[in-house]
Every structure is written in C-alpha cells, then in structure tokens.
Amino acid sequence: MVDMMTIQGLSYFNNNNGFSKPATKVVLEEGDNLKGMQKVLSLTAQLYKNKVAAPYEMDLSTEGFTLFDSGEAGFVYATNSWTHYVTYGKPEFEYAFIPSVGIDDSAKYAGSVISEGTGLFVANTGNEREMQGAYEFIKFLAQPENQAQWCTTLGYVPYTDEAVATEAWQSWMAETLPSAQGVIDRIKNTSTEMRLPYAEFSVNGVGKKMFALLSSDASKDPNQVIENSLFTIKETMELWKARR
C-alpha cells in the first residue's frame, strides 16, 4: 500500500507527507488519497473474490516462494532482496523482477523505483575505538567486490557504479536475473522528489491491516476496512504529538 500510494503521488500525512515539518495529521481520508486507497482495496477484494490471490497471512519465505518456484503462482510480491528465494529454488521457467507500480495509469511517478535498503551510520558514542570500528566496517561493506558478494548472494542491486561494473555482478546478473539492469536504470532516473512518507513511527501497519481484513472477508465494504484500519495510525499520531 505504501509503495503504490507513493508512486501514485499520494500522501499519508500533511506538511508535504511529513517532509516540510513534522506531520501533525493523517490525510488518508481526504480527497485523492482516499480515492486511491478505495481503488487499491476494491482491486484487492476482487482478487480474493475470484480466488486468484493467496491468503495475506501466508509465509512468503516458505509457502509463497515455493508456489512461485513450482509454477503454481504467477506473481509473488516482495523486495528484490528476497530474490534468493527464487534463484535458490531454480524454477524451470524464465522469470523477472518487476518494480512496483502505482495505482493506475495516472501515477505521478510511473516508471520510477522506490529506493530502499539498510542504512548504516557511525554514532557518536564518545568512544573513538568504537566509532573507528564502525567506520572501517562500513568502508569494508562499500568496497565493490564486497557489494557484489552481498548482492549476488541475496538479490539486492549494487549501490555504486563500481560494484555494478564488477565481473562478479555482471556475470551473475546475465545468468540469473537480467531484469536487474532495468531496476538499476530506473533507480538512476527516479526523481528525488518521490519519497516514502516520513513520520517518527511506522506506517506499514495500515496497509497490512487492510489487506488482512480483506483476505479474511473479501465482501467487506472498503470504506469500513479503511475506517477500521486508520484508527491505529491516528491514535499513534496523537500519542506521538502528546509526547513531543
């Protein structure tokens, strides 16, 4: 839900989705933001009604990818860092990684890729030995050959041009996941204006609860699903504002 809304150009919070200044209001029940969610939920409900979607609670790392690798599922939705579940499964058909899309053809950032990953930082602990150690570790991971090792093992795409150019990555990509080059190209051409909503608390639970509710009962009214799911994030925001 977060990915689709972001690529569509819609918001979770006021104040430029939390980037101009701290978000103080959830705007998911307003205007195009609400219409976007309603459309996503209507499409999702239809998948469940037609019995072409697996239960939302299914464990992707076991059942989900097993179904895909065996050819019993046409699509499995996950970050590219989970590609190893496919490469290790060695399916007997051609497959590709397709970046997330928006909600419909009017998506503001159509063709863009949300850049995610694990951020590493050197914290100021006051201990020079600790900080130097953290710096050396990050420097080690950033070396092209180590990036290539990490990425070819798990399916991440490298985050520097030097790592992309390594023979290890180029060979693995050509043999295992040619579509990764398209992901890299899209990342480079994605507008820096497209950013996931920012708040000092998690927003992922909203979409998860919506999809879980529809998975258990696809006949539920999408508006009721939205109302039931937004209670938590609105309550969380009020608690956060009270503590600031």
Write out the chain's pLDDT in tens, 244 residues: 999 999 999 999 999 999 999 999 999 999 999 999 999 999 999 999 999 999 888 998 889 999 999 999 999 999 888 999 999 999 999 999 999 999 999 999 999 999 887 788 999 999 999 999 999 999 999 999 999 999 999 999 999 999 999 999 999 999 999 999 999 999 999 999 999 999 888 888 888 899 999 999 999 998 899 988 998 899 889 998 888 7
d(CA 47, CA 39): 13
Question: Residue 139: in which H helix or E strand, if any?
Answer: helix 128-142
- Residue 110 domain-assigned? yes
> Same domain, yes or no, for 204 and 143?
no
Q: Is the dihedral of CA 58, 61, 66, 71 positive or negative?
A: positive
> Same domain, yes or no, for 24 and 132?
no
What pLDDT is stored for residue 155 in this prediction?
92
Do 109 and 191 contact (CB within 8 A), yes or no? yes
> Same domain, yes or no, for 95 and 22?
yes
User: Residue 236 region, left (φ>0) first, then alpha (ψ -120 to 50), else beta?
Assistant: alpha
Give the structural domain span for 170: 128-176
- Residue 181 domain-assigned? no
> Same domain, yes or no, for 135 and 230?
no
Do 199 and 17 contact (CB within 8 A), yes or no? no
> Same domain, yes or no, for 171 and 62?
no
- Residue 121 domain-assigned? no
Do 219 and 41 contact (CB within 8 A), yes or no? no
- Residue 183 domain-assigned? no
- Residue 182 domain-assigned? no
- Residue 167 domain-assigned? yes
> Same domain, yes or no, for 104 and 225?
yes
| Residues 6 or more apart in contact with residue 112 via CB below 8 angstroms | 7, 186, 189, 190, 191, 194
Residue with tokens 């000092």: 200
What pLDDT is stored for residue 17 in this prediction?
95
> What does the angle CA 83 – CA 161 – CA 156 come to, to the nearest 5 degrees?
15
> Same domain, yes or no, for 108 and 15?
yes
> Same domain, yes or no, for 198 and 133?
no
d(CA 107, CA 91): 33
What pLDDT is stored for residue 120 in this prediction?
86
Read off the pTM. 0.88
> Same domain, yes or no, for 205 and 226?
yes
d(CA 151, CA 134): 21
- Residue 120 domain-assigned? no
> Same domain, yes or no, for 154 and 215?
no
Nearest CA among 40, 43, 76 for reference residue 58: 76
